[in-house]
């Protein structure tokens, strides 16, 4: 499913630096500077990749926790329904005060 976050935006726009275009022709001495800049960009991207992997792992763990919690709640709901169905099948009697069955009473107003 596509949403606003999956659309290409400003983060996908190529800049002059990323397109490797220069207004001034290259000088031979700028090779070391280019190597340094590329090394720093590579380090930054590797750190960002590591952070994203950690975030992805934490998201997967949270999804598993949510699935487990949902499963527990669904089982509890099924158990409550089963007890409600069994008490409904007994008829209009309810069991109170240690086993004595009484009629259910409800007021009627006219």
pLDDT-derived band at 108, boundaries 50, 70, 90: confident
- Please check the confidence at residue 92 and state whether its pLDDT lies above 60: no
In a domain, 21, yes or no: no
Residue 35 CA from chain centroid, whole number: 39
**67 pLDDT more than 90:** yes
Place of tokens 């490797």: 20
State the number of CA atoms in the 13 A half-sphere of 14 facing the CB: 5
* Distance from chain centroid for Cα 70: 14
What pLDDT digit, counting tens, does each position of 4-22 carry?
666 666 666 666 566 666 6
Among 59, 17, 60, 58, smallest CA distance to 41 is for 17
Confidence class for position 102, pLDDT limits 50, 70, 90: confident
Percent of the chain with pLDDT over 90: 38
Residue 67 lies in a domain: yes
Share of the chain above pLDDT 70, in %: 61
Residue 98 lies in a domain: no
Q: What are 14-51's pLDDT values in tens digits?
A: 665 666 666 666 666 678 888 999 999 999 999 999 99
- Domain limits at 67? 51-83
Whether 45 maps to a domain, the answer reads no
Say yes or no to pLDDT of 85 above 90.
no
Residue 86 host element (H or E) = helix 30-88
């Amino acid at each position: 499913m596509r949403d606003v976050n999956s659309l290409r935006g400003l983060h996908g726009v190529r800049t002059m630096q990323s397109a490797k275009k220069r207004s001034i022709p290259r000088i031979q001495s700028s090779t070391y500077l280019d190597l340094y800049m590329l090394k720093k960009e590579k380090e930054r991207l590797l750190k960002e990749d590591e952070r994203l992997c950690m975030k992805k792992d934490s998201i997967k763990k949270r999804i598993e926790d949510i699935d487990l919690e949902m499963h527990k709640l669904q089982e509890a709901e099924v158990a409550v329904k089963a007890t409600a169905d069994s008490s409904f099948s007994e008829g209009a009697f309810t069991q109170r005060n240690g086993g004595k069955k009484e009629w259910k009473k409800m007021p009627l107003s006219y």
